[in-house]
Amino acid sequence: MMASRNENPIASKEAAGNRFIQSAARHRKKALQSKISDLRTRSALPQSQTRGIIQEANLGINRMDNILQKKTRGRQPTTGAAATTRLSTTSRLSTASTLGQQTPAKRK
């Protein structure tokens, strides 16, 4: 029988309740950011009212930032000699693009 995600040992470091809190905080933060964006671009309210609403929304965003645990992005850097000798994808691409610029133009 297959284990559910909550029973999976890979997901054991974060409980189901914690995942719910994190996702709810991310949704709330996004809603507050959208509210600020709408007020700045589409609102017909006087500036004094919008300033107060934006301040309240910024306080809410700061509260959500305190709740949120930052997700790690991308792969963890490798350590050792292999990491220093290998070129990253961006450095290989930049080398290839600069070499391509050095070739002479085709004759017509």
Q: Which residue ranges make up each domain of the chain?
A: 11-70
pLDDT at position 62 is 94
Q: Measured between alpha carbons, how far is 94 from 98 in angstroms, rounded to an integer?
A: 6
Q: Tokens in use for 59?
A: 């306080």
Given a cut of 50, the residues of the chain with pLDDT beneath it are 1
Task: Provide the pLDDT for residue 20.
Answer: 84
**CB-based contacts of 21-25 (< 8 A; 24+ apart in sequence):** 21/67, 22/67, 22/68, 22/69, 25/64, 25/67, 25/68
pLDDT at 17: 73
Residue type for position 37 = S
What angle is formed at CA 32 by the lines to CA 65 and CA 22, rounded to 5 degrees?
40
Which pLDDT score, from 0 to 100, does residue 22 have? 87
pLDDT score, position 34: 94
- Per-residue model confidence (pLDDT) at position 72: 72
